[in-house]
Structure 1
Amino acid sequence: MSAPHPVGAPRPAGALHRDALRALDSWAAPDDQQDLLRRDYLDHLREREDGVWRSCHPAHITASALVVDAARGRVLLTLHPKVGLWLQLGGHCEPQDATLAGAALREAVEESGITEGLALAASAAPVKLDRHAVRCAGRDQPENTHLDVQYLATAPADAVARISDESLDLRWFGFDALPERTDGSVRDLVARAQKLLD
């Protein structure tokens, strides 16, 4: 009989860790810079069994999804309360997540309020990787690095988005009419998504 899991300690990643390794190992990165990130992410996961959990310092894997309404040529972005920028939907992996793609879709559903018809692109493969420093543990804590794995999710044309308590605002924007407070990483993600949708 195994010892009980200590309260507050990160759980072994198990299936999620294995899926992250598989997803990144099999992903055909679209360019050399993305392939370098892919290899860095794989090194991180091979070195850290807890590499998918928020408690893993100084870096951990996160999952996000760019939600698109392809029929109307628009994307759903959230105004992030900590960062103050319009971003794709996503966040930390949770113990119930068995796959990175599933974590990205769960985050997209939670943060968009779209509970029916939201689905990952048919390939369910990452669109892009993005490494960025954040203070996800709080302003008084040291910076941590998010190793974000970004997916594409499609919403039905009649989808009604509902803001969550994790956002200051939630809005649809045209592919070519992104808000001013959107960084280069999100603009690049939107451009890559558009190419996949063409």
Structure 2
Amino acid sequence: MIDLPITEAHIRTTLTAYLDERPEEKPDLAPALILLESGVDLTSRSEFSSHATAGAILAGPDGRILHIHHLATGKWLLPGGHLESVDQTLLEAALRELVEETGISADTVTPASDSPLHIDIHPIPANDAKGEPEHSHIDFRFLFHTDAEVGALQTEEVMDAAWRDPHSISDERLRQRITQALH
């Protein structure tokens, strides 16, 4: 089997299925739909109107959620990042990013679903060091479960990792989704 990178069709199908289940979010995600309709390549990191990213919401056996202390931003975030050519699906991209950033083995992680638990569009400030203007990420976030401990962190991007109560997540919609999914 030949590995093919994530396609626009996969992004469109994933986003459409997500909105079919959550039509109330269509106004928030309309910019992504407009970009898809206009032919913008959301799979390309060099597309600076917006591009897709994949995130992992990793729940431990006690229901706490793994956060990483991101080096570039100095913030505690959920694991995740940009799509790469080896990724065939958004779910695979989220798992790859989780494994890379936390050192947790992929075979100790189980996805809760093939569908994202949450999709969010958020602004990214300009990064002069990387030659990147201000843009936005369309972040497809997937829920995973594990009973594994954090391994060797990806020190180029991650300063620390910590398991935190889901109630510490500032995004209200994401916090509610996680809480509902874990109960």
**CA 16–76 in structure 1, closer or farther in 2 if over 3 Å, else same:** same
Higher share in helix: 2
Q: Cα distance, 1:158 vs. partner?
A: 3.7
Instruction: Name segments (4+ residues, structure 1) moved above 4 Å.
Output: none
1:7-156 pair list within 5 angstroms: 15-27=6-18, 28-30=20-22, 32=24, 34-69=25-60, 71-115=61-105, 116-121=107-112, 123-135=113-125, 137-138=127-128, 141-155=132-146
CA contact (8 A) 2:29 2:120 kept: no
- Looking at structure 1, the residues matched to 104 and 140 of structure 2 have their Cα atoms a distance apart, in angstroms, of 21
**Identity of paired residues, percent?**
29
- Deviation, 1:58, is 1.7
Maintained 8 Å contact 2:29/2:121: no
- Provide TM-score, normalisation by structure 2: 0.84
> TM-score by structure 1 length?
0.78
CA distance, structure 2, for counterparts of residue 107 and residue 91 of structure 1 = 6
Displacement of 1:136: 6.5
Gaps of 5+ in 2: none
Post-superposition offset of 1:107:
0.9
Cα pair 1:77 1:86 within 8 Å, conserved: yes
- The secondary structure found in structure 1 opposite 2:153 is coil
Distance change >3 Å, CA 161–CA 190, structure 1 → 2: farther
TM-aligned CA deviation for residue 14 of structure 1: 6.5
| Structure 2 contact 6–85 (Cα < 8 Å) conserved | no
The runs of 5 or more residues in structure 1 that have no matched partner are 1-12
Report the secondary structure of 1:42's partner residue. Answer: helix
* Compared CA separation, residues 163 and 14, structure 1 to 2 (3 A): closer
Alignment coverage as a number of residue pairs: 176
